[in-house]
Amino acid sequence: MTGEMIMRILCLCGDTYWLKSIIIMQLKRLIFTILLMGTLASCGKMKDPVFKGIENVKMNGAGINASSVTLDIRYLNPNNFKGQLKQAEGDAWVDSVYLGHFIVDSTVMIPANSDFLVPVKLAIDMKQMLKHSLTAFLNEEVMLKITGKARAGKSGVYKNFSLNYNGKQNLKELFR
């Protein structure tokens, strides 16, 4: 149906306000649906970032019960688009011993197809750490486990992700 035909039908009906409003509403829905489909099709499937290592470990405050550490975690974004990490938090273990809780409380810009650093604040449970520290630090490598959740996305569309990492970490490289 062409626009001219629609206008003829509207003129024949007399009081056409209700009919015009229905047509306008339907056109708005159609345009919104087309825009939404185009946006979702352009997103594609987001690949998970690749853990590359831990850098810049700094002890900020040491205490008997808890200590504060800041560090940067290097990741690779394998996606062809940039994004943002809004927030993240979780827990860390060293050789199956609970290390503490971490948070990322600042927005991190994630470049496309590139490495990026995530600044992390880690609150270490010193009671647990001191109980098991001798065996952990006698080894050159330790098993690091990280679990948690993160919120990341792009263009105002954000998604919650699970954080799960298990791997060996060289202690000498951490504390250079």
Q: Are residues 70 and 17 in the same domain?
A: no
Instruction: With a cut of 90, say whether residue 115 has pLDDT above it.
Output: yes
Q: Are residues 31 and 67 in the same domain?
A: no
* Count of structural domains, the chain: 2
Q: Are residues 17 and 63 in the same domain?
A: no
Task: Supply the pLDDT for residue 155.
Answer: 80
Q: Are residues 109 and 58 in the same domain?
A: yes
- Using alpha carbons only, give the angle 148, 80, 152 rounded to the nearest 5 degrees: 25
CA distance 12 to 77: 60
Q: Are residues 92 and 120 in the same domain?
A: yes
Residue 109 pLDDT grade (very low, low, confident, very high; cuts 50, 70, 90): very high
Domain membership of residue 57 as a residue range: 50-174
Q: Are residues 63 and 95 in the same domain?
A: yes
CATH number at residue 63: 2.60.40.1820
Task: Supply the pLDDT for residue 111.
Answer: 93
Express each pLDDT in 10-48 by its tens digit. 555 555 555 566 666 666 666 766 666 655 555 567 777
Task: Supply the pLDDT for residue 94.
Answer: 81
CA dihedral 64, 70, 76, 80 (to 10 degrees): 130
Q: Are residues 92 and 11 in the same domain?
A: no
Q: Are residues 112 and 128 in the same domain?
A: yes
Instruction: With a cut of 90, say whether residue 169 has pLDDT above it.
Output: no
Q: Are residues 71 and 17 in the same domain?
A: no
CA distance 144 to 94: 5
Instruction: With a cut of 70, say whether residue 157 has pLDDT above it.
Output: yes
Express each pLDDT in 51-102 by its tens digit. 888 888 888 877 767 778 888 888 898 988 888 989 999 998 888 888 888 8
Q: Are residues 69 and 104 in the same domain?
A: yes
Q: Are residues 96 and 128 in the same domain?
A: yes
Q: Are residues 169 and 105 in the same domain?
A: yes
pTM of the model: 0.66
Task: Supply the pLDDT for residue 54.
Answer: 81
